[in-house]
Amino acid sequence: IQEDHKLSTLELEEKYGTSINKGLSSARAAEILARDGPNALSPPKATPEIVKFLKQMVGGFSILLWIGAVCSWISSGIQIAQGAESPFDNLYLGVVLALVVILTGIFAYYQEAKSTNIMASFSKMIPQQALVIRDAEKKELPAEQLVVGDIVEIKGGDRIPADIRLIVTQGCKVDNSSLTGESEPQSRSCDFTHENPLETKNIAFYSTTCVEGTATGVVINTGDRTVIGRIASLASGVGNEKTPIAIEIEHFVYLVAGVAVSIGVLFFIISVSMRYKILDSIIFLIGIIVANVPEGLLATVTVSLSLTAKRMAKKNCLVKNLEAVETLGSTSIICSDKTGTLTQNRMTVAHLWFDNQIYSADTSEDQTTQPFDQTSPSWTALSKIVTLCNRAEFSPGQENLPIMKRVVVGDASETALLKFSEVILGNVMDIRARNKKVAEIPFNSTNKFQLSIHETDDPDDKRFLLVMKGAPERILERCSTIMINGKEEPLDSEKAEAFQTAYMELGGLGERVLGFCHLYLPENDFPDTYPFDTDSMNFPTSNLCFVGLLSMIDPPRSTVPDAVSKCRSAGIKVIMVTGDHPITAKAIAKSVGIISATSETVEDIAKRLNIPVEQVNRGEATAAVVNGMELKDMSSEQLDEILCNHSEIVFARTSPQQKLIIVEGCQRQGAVVAVTGDGVNDSPALKKADIGIAMGIAGSDAAKNAADMVLLDDNFASIVTGVEEGRLIFDNLKKTIAYTLTKNIAELCPFLIYIIASIPLPIGTITILFIDLGTDIIPSVALAYEKAESDIMNRRPRNKRKDRLVNEQLAIYSYLQIGIMQSVGAFVTYFTVYAEQGFLPSTLLGVRVDWESNAINDFEDSYGQQWTKYQRNYLQWTGYTAFFVSITIQQVADLIIRKTRRNSIFQQGLFRNKVIWVGIFSQIGIALILTYGLGHVTALNFTPLRFQYWFVAVPFAVLIWVYDEVRKLFIRRYPGSWWDKNMYY
């Protein structure tokens, strides 16, 4: 616990061996720098690149393939030892398998590195400078070189370069939002005001900004030892949970690997017990593994995810971790910040009250006019006060920018008023110039008003105009009259009552209300030479004329209500978590629809029924506004109860630490939680969340580091488009996987039948690899471009326990139905090729041993002809090619049926997704090249194929399509039926 805020200046000097006037000596500073290290947050520990790379080498199916490769090498070793004739086939296969693993590993590593790089560019910061006193001289130094004991000077606009104990201040205010989330500037002084170093006014914290004023202070903490640094290191302590898609892919890998290993082992046992040699059995095992493992799939998934990530980046969601793409889609709760995310993050005039009437102002982002009635003379008077009693000014050189986008020097309320009057009246600076200011009392917290006295631009009127604004009740106290329709009327109790009602009403909307009054000073008493003195206040400040009220709010972004209602229909609960006052929070929640118009909180019900809050039946309230103070005393059960029982929740006045508690509470409900945040203090919650979303504009680097995603435009609506993309990719990955798994059966069946029926091998291991990593890759990526089948934003988020990426139905339908159909089609081609060359199916059964014997070179076919080994081999490769071509042809049908899971292809449109056609053409093109172009390269085991064999499987391809259309028809016709339950994946 630091005690520095309690120490006097002298004690401080002593403690840090420094001097307020002279600062540290350069030598001493260098010593301390060497001891403490640079004043910078140490970046989160990165996994070494080599570890990342090795992880890719052993992840997923790689282990299985390594086993296959090692088996190949072992068997080739045995063969070499036995002096067999072609021992290098297996050696070569092992090398190919190893290459496949290494290449896919490199690919995955490259993909990951690419997406990490996008983020790396983000975290590069412009080096910060600090004004330091050293060796009794003022120096500009990089903030990194600050050490404890340095004396630094800060001024408005600066970022605080370290934790600083203030010793001299002048109207200093800091924005602690990066620390606490509250964007209201806080004043700083040299006084010790609170026991808690976080609350006391004489400490300014690293990474916060000084909004106005100047200050000088002693650096008391640097780098990771600052308050922010400690929070940031806390965040790195929060473990990274596995993303939902990672869990799904793992589940899928286990499933496929399980199938591969169990079939492999089963057939190993079968082949051993069928008296095959152990060596042959091992070779069968390799074949089964290779056939079963979709080698290209994980790469395809990565590509699909990165395609979606690119698409999302275009929509302002920058994804840091590829898997987060899908996480967003499965999100069921979004815990959103208010300021900046749901709102525009700027004060804007929302309502006016004059002539006893409330007017609404336009609060949209790009207002150019104001629609309310501006004919009343009262408005003319009010607008004058608003314009003149204001110290804010536009920064120069922005005449061409829209008013709302211009940068203003001044606090939030004054900025709002300046822009408001600029929109309505035009050139405010000109008006101010024509109404020359002669005296001014700025706002201070004791007066709670701001006052200025002006000459008027009316040449006939020599009177001075006194204008005043401030807290409404304080302003009203100073008034004796009130302006109604341009006429001053005495302020009687009835009118005061009307004021009260309006004030309460506007306050109840969560708006900040200001009162405005004026007084024309009598010309006789105040001639134009009158010396106004603001210290002695030699002018009247009471019995003024009340003109009106203006209320301001940080209004919601115009796209947010729509986005919130989209979330609602998508079954996503939006919870607002804010440091703001409950009333403001609730008002914004209501205006964006987080609390819907019809629902009530317990307090609302109590008010409506006029009963105490305790008597309200809590079940009736659908909405809840929870105050941070209440949250502090809650047990986790109570929090769970609130999260469970209310569909619309707002957490107000919450501290960043409580955000973490809320996230954990949501996760206890089994929800996939997305959290938005910008401050450093949000980083633990961002890390804890299933998907942390940092703000690109307002967000701090720590927040961006902890987040999985960065919203480039800070807009809540962008999250919703991200959700949509995430859901789409989940659906499309399902299609990709279904597509890829199907042909695995058509690759596996040949091996099984080869072992059991002892026919010549229908398809080789290398050929399988050419399907998995050749013809099938582009089509399966093409499915990522598929449009949604129905409005995916109208269904509930997926239940991460039940709605698996690869469910039983998907596996069974792909493996046992379409896959088997494909196998049948391919086998027909296979038998056709053999029969037309002289080997009728009946001859083929049981010939394996003789067929493969190198010594038999007069193998007799069904017609009495005799074949040498090589002639048989060549025929076998023709068989491979035919089998390969048949699978490819049927995969085209498979690709087309996978476009939809429920709708007919005709509903989806065959040509809407052009990339599918690229896929189909590439598939056929690659097959043509392999068959006819590379047909003479012996090692690849392809041979040129008679053209008609390309069409043998076509009827089966058509059958697959028709069958799947029927399946989808029944699913649509009979929802909930036995068919639907078993056939819909």
Partner 1 sequence: GLILLFYLVFYGFLAALFTFTMWVMLQTLSSDIPKYRDRISSPGLMISPKPDTALEFYFNKSDAQSYAEYVSTLRKFLESYDDSKQSQNINCTPGRIFDQNDVAVKKACRFNLSELGQCSGKEDKTFGYSRGTPCVLVKVNRIIGLKPEGEPRIQCTPKEEGMAEINYFPPEGLIDLMYFPYYGKRLHAHYLQPLVAVQLAINSNSTKEEITIECKILGSPNLKNEDDRDKFLGRIAFKIQMTE
Of the two residues 465 and 953, which places its CB atom closer to partner 1 in the complex?
A: 953
What residues between 335 and 394 interact with partner 1 by CB under 8 A? Answer: none
Give the integer Cα–Cα distance in Å for 309 and 114: 12
Side-chain-side CA neighbours of 953 within 13 Å: the count stands at 30
Residues 546, 831, 880, 949: which binds partner 1 (CB under 8 A)?
Answer: 831
Q: Give min distance, CB of 977 to partner 1, in A.
A: 11
Please report whether residue 772 would count as binding partner 1 according to CB under 8 A.
Answer: no
Of the two residues 24 and 889, which places its CB atom closer to partner 1 in the complex?
A: 889
Of the two residues 204 and 953, which places its CB atom closer to partner 1 in the complex?
A: 953
Pattern of binders to partner 1 over 861-900, x per CB under 8 A? xxxxxxxxxxx--xx--x----------------------
Closest CA to 213 of 192, 185, 182, 183: 185
726, burial (CB in 10 Å: exposed 0-12, middle 13-18, buried 19+): buried
What residues between 787 and 816 interact with partner 1 by CB under 8 A? Answer: 816
Please report whether residue 858 would count as binding partner 1 according to CB under 8 A.
Answer: yes
Instruction: Dump the DSSP string for 319-336.
Output: ESSTTHHHHHHH--EEEE
Query: Who contacts 374 (Cβ-Cβ below 8 Å, separation ≥6)?
Result: 383, 424
What residues between 908 and 947 interact with partner 1 by CB under 8 A? Answer: 938, 946
Residues in a beta bridge with 439: 453
Q: Give min distance, CB of 670 to partner 1, in A.
A: 30
Strands 209-221 and 691-695: unpaired
Pattern of binders to partner 1 over 835-854, x per CB under 8 A? xxxx-xx------------x
Please report whether residue 594 would count as binding partner 1 according to CB under 8 A.
Answer: no
Residues 249, 416, 821, 844: which binds partner 1 (CB under 8 A)?
Answer: 821
Residues 78, 820, 847, 915: which binds partner 1 (CB under 8 A)?
Answer: 820
Stretch that binds partner 1, among 47-55, 739-747, 821-829, 885-893 (CB under 8 A): 821-829
- Contact yes or no for 787/732 (Cβ under 8 A): no
- Contact yes or no for 221/227 (Cβ under 8 A): yes
Query: Who contacts 737 (Cβ-Cβ below 8 Å, separation ≥6)?
Result: 252, 294, 297, 301, 805, 806, 810
Which amino acid is located at 182 in the chain?
Answer: E
Of the two residues 261 and 820, which places its CB atom closer to partner 1 in the complex?
A: 820
Please report whether residue 133 would count as binding partner 1 according to CB under 8 A.
Answer: no
CA 513, 514, 519 angle in degrees (round to 5)? 155
Give the integer Cα–Cα distance in Å for 71 and 62: 14
Instruction: Dump the DSSP string for 7-63.
Output: S-HHHHHHHHT--TTT-B-HHHHHHHHHHH--SSPPPPPPPPHHHHHHHHHHTTTHH
Give the integer Cα–Cα distance in Å for 491 and 482: 6
Q: Give min distance, CB of 962 to partner 1, in A.
A: 12
Q: Give min distance, CB of 930 to partner 1, in A.
A: 19
Q: Give min distance, CB of 269 to partner 1, in A.
A: 24
Of the two residues 521 and 856, which places its CB atom closer to partner 1 in the complex?
A: 856
Tokens of residue 477, six digits:
């106290």
Residue with tokens 């090398």: 95
Residues 75, 832, 913, 922: which binds partner 1 (CB under 8 A)?
Answer: 832
Instruction: Dump the DSSP string for 732-748.
Output: HHHHHHHHHHHHHHHHH
Q: Is 175 a catalytic residue?
A: no
Q: Give min distance, CB of 744 to partner 1, in A.
A: 18
Q: How many contiguous H segments (helices) and E segments (strands) does the chain have?
A: 36, 28
Q: Give min distance, CB of 827 to partner 1, in A.
A: 7
Q: Give min distance, CB of 315 to partner 1, in A.
A: 43
Tally of CB atoms within 10 A around 791:
10
How many residues form the binding site for partner 1 (CB under 8 A)?
41
Q: Which of 89, 150, 163, 337 is catalytic?
A: 337
Give the integer Cα–Cα distance in Å for 464 and 439: 10
Of the two residues 911 and 978, which places its CB atom closer to partner 1 in the complex?
A: 978
Please report whether residue 746 would count as binding partner 1 according to CB under 8 A.
Answer: no
Please report whether residue 95 would count as binding partner 1 according to CB under 8 A.
Answer: no
Q: Give min distance, CB of 560 to partner 1, in A.
A: 49
Query: Who contacts 762 (Cβ-Cβ below 8 Å, separation ≥6)?
Result: 750, 753, 754, 826, 827, 830, 879, 880, 883
Of the two residues 127 and 864, which places its CB atom closer to partner 1 in the complex?
A: 864
Which amino acid is located at 490 in the chain?
Answer: P
Give the integer Cα–Cα distance in Å for 727 and 325: 9
Of the two residues 892 and 960, which places its CB atom closer to partner 1 in the complex?
A: 960
Of the two residues 869 and 902, which places its CB atom closer to partner 1 in the complex?
A: 869
Strands 464-470 and 512-521: antiparallel
Q: Give min distance, CB of 973 to partner 1, in A.
A: 17
What residues between 274 and 333 interact with partner 1 by CB under 8 A? Answer: none
Of the two residues 252 and 815, which places its CB atom closer to partner 1 in the complex?
A: 815
Tokens of residue 539, six digits:
């002018």
Tokens of residue 980, six digits:
């639907």
Of the two residues 693 and 811, which places its CB atom closer to partner 1 in the complex?
A: 811
Q: Give min distance, CB of 84 to partner 1, in A.
A: 10
Q: Which residues make up the interface to partner 1 (CB under 8 A)?
A: 816-817, 820-821, 824, 827-828, 831-832, 835-838, 840-841, 854-858, 860-871, 874-875, 878, 938, 946, 955, 959, 978, 982
Active site amino acids: 337
